[in-house]
């Protein structure tokens, strides 16, 4: 029937158009910012895009693997500390710091994933939280690198000895490029055979194992990739703030990433970007009203979870379908 084929076709088109609009908006923002509040808007957009990388990475695990990690901020912190520790020893080039940040985050993901992925459900949540807090307390104990007070980085990383990233526009478009590549990588993984196995393991791991797939290895690979992308976010965050702190690894920051996913729509990669932008913009706006902005944000989040199970992306899709029917 004609009416039954339009809805399934509409969603794939929306899943392509919506991300394209998001990335185009980010690409054009510096030109709009040139008319006023230039530095403020650029810094806010950079922060949104950096945390969006971490949220997209987490969505690969939560939305498609069904594995809720409450320690994902540890990978962000490890990537950031790789930059800070190398800079403290005079190694400030991104060609060294970036591979080290990615390798450190992925190695930590591999080591912890070997243990975490032998559990499931609430046990997986708790053990990822435990490993995340372990990383937090280790960073807090690094007295030569600031301990609880954190570590200040003298300047952004150089690129082959050239201070290219000191230019805010160059750094902005580097962050945008990293976000685009992270999104494209995760999308390619999701639509590939690897992604189908990951989604199948989320629905029924026993049945998938029975037909010959090693669910544990697929989940471990996804966990390591997700950790590496979060480490990339940490590398960028350290350069954006020129500061690293154990707070980057706290369980509260991991909770923020979960909230960003919930707000945007779990299982929709561009929903992670929308959720991150919405969360940080609301934080920015509400914190200007009161320092207890969470008191206002909490009930708003509860209403979103109750009345819009698919997050902002699901809500917009519902309105779109309703208008077409009308």
Kindly state the average pLDDT of the residues 285-301.
Answer: 81
295 inside domain = no
- Contact 64/267 with Cβ under 8 angstroms? yes
Query: 292 in a domain, yes or no?
Result: no
How far is residue 42's CA from residue 281's CA, in Å, rounded to a whole number? 13
Higher pLDDT, residue 6 or 184:
184
Higher pLDDT, 262 or 310: 262
Domain assignment of residue 157, yes or no: yes
Which tokens sit at 141? Answer: 């104990």
In a domain? residue 105: yes
Tens of pLDDT, residues 92-107: 999 999 999 999 999 9
| pLDDT surpasses 90 at 287 | no
Structural domains of the chain, count = 1
pTM: 0.90
Q: What's the Rg (C-alpha) of the chain?
A: 20
User: Tell me, what's the pLDDT at 325?
Assistant: 54
The DSSP bridge partners found for residue 162 are 159
More confident residue, 312 or 121: 121
Query: Of all residues in the chain, what percent carry a pLDDT higher than 90?
Result: 54
Nearest-5° angle of CA 238, CA 242, CA 244?
Answer: 55
Q: How many CB atoms lie within 10 A of CB 301?
A: 15
Residue 76 counted as domain residue: yes
Q: How far is CA 42 from the centre of its chain?
A: 19
Cβ-based neighbour number of residue 314 at 10 Å: 18
Q: Of residues 4 and 283, which shows the higher confidence score?
A: 283
User: Could you give the angle at which helices 38-65 and 2-33 cross, rounded to 10 degrees?
Assistant: 150
Residue 122, domain extent: 28-250
Q: Which residue has the higher pLDDT, 156 or 209?
A: 156
| Averaged pLDDT for residues 262-269 | 87
Position 10 in a domain: no
User: Which of 303 and 169 is assigned the larger pLDDT?
Assistant: 169
pLDDT digits (tens, 9 = 90+) for 8-65: 444 555 567 878 888 998 898 888 766 656 778 889 999 999 999 999 999 999 989 8
Q: Is residue 228 part of a domain?
A: yes
User: According to the model, what pLDDT value does residue 99 have?
Assistant: 96
pLDDT by residue (tens digit) across 152-202?
998 899 999 899 899 889 999 999 999 999 999 999 999 999 999 999 888
Distances from the Cα of 82 to the Cα of 15, 47, 53, 75, 190, angstroms? 35, 19, 18, 11, 29
**85 in any annotated domain:** yes
pLDDT higher than 60, residue 116: yes
Confidence bin at 246 (pLDDT 50/70/90)? very high
The span from the CA of 95 to the CA of 101, in Å, is: 11
Rounded CA separation 195/201 (Å): 10
What is the DSSP annotation of 94-106?
A: HHHHHHHHHHHHH
H-run or E-run covering 267: none
27: Cβ contacts below 8 Å, ≥ 6 apart = 173, 176
Distance of CA 321 to the CA centre of its chain: 29
Tell me, what's the pLDDT at 291?
79
> For residues 116 and 124, what is the distance between their CA atoms, to the nearest angstrom?
6
Burial zone of 57 (CB within 10 Å; 0-12 exposed, 13-18 middle, 19+ buried): buried
Share above pLDDT 70 across residues of the chain, in percent, rounded to a whole number: 90
Residue 317 pLDDT level (bands cut at 50, 70, 90): low
Q: In the prediction, which pLDDT does 135 show?
A: 94
Predicted confidence (pLDDT) at residue 113 exceeds the cutoff of 70: yes
| Residue-wise pLDDT tens digits, 72-92 | 999 999 999 999 999 999 999
């Amino acid at each position: 029937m004609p009416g039954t084929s339009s809805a399934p076709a509409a969603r794939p088109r929306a899943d392509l158009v919506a991300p394209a609009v998001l990335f185009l908006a980010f690409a054009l923002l510096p030109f709009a910012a040139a008319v006023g509040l230039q530095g403020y808007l650029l810094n806010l957009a950079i922060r949104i895009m950096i945390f969006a990388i971490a949220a997209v990475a987490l969505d690969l695990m939560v939305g498609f693997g069904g594995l809720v990690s409450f320690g994902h901020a540890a990978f962000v912190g490890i990537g950031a500390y790789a930059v800070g520790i190398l800079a403290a020893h005079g190694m400030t080039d991104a060609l060294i710091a970036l591979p080290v940040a990615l390798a450190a985050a992925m190695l930590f993901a591999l080591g912890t994933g070997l243990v975490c992925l032998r559990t499931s459900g609430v046990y997986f949540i708790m053990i990822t939280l435990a490993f995340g807090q372990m990383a937090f307390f280790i960073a807090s104990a690094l007295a030569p690198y600031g301990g609880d007070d954190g570590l200040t980085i003298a300047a952004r990383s150089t690129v082959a000895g050239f201070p290219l990233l000191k230019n805010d526009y160059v750094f902005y478009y580097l962050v945008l490029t990293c976000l685009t590549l992270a999104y494209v990588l995760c999308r390619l993984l999701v639509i590939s055979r690897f992604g189908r196995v990951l989604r199948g393991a989320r629905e029924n791991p026993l049945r998938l194992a029975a037909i010959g797939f090693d669910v544990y290895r697929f989940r471990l690979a996804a966990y390591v990739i997700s950790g590496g992308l979060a480490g990339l976010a940490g590398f960028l965050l350290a350069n954006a703030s020129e500061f690293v702190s154990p707070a980057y690894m706290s369980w509260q920051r991991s909770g923020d990433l979960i909230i960003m996913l919930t707000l945007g729509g779990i299982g929709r990669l561009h929903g992670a970007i929308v959720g991150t932008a919405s969360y940080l913009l609301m934080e920015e706006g509400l914190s200007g009203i009161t320092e207890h902005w969470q008191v206002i944000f909490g009930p708003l989040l509860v209403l979103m979870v109750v009345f819009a199970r698919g997050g902002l992306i699901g809500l917009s899709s519902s309105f779109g379908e309703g208008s077409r029917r009308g």
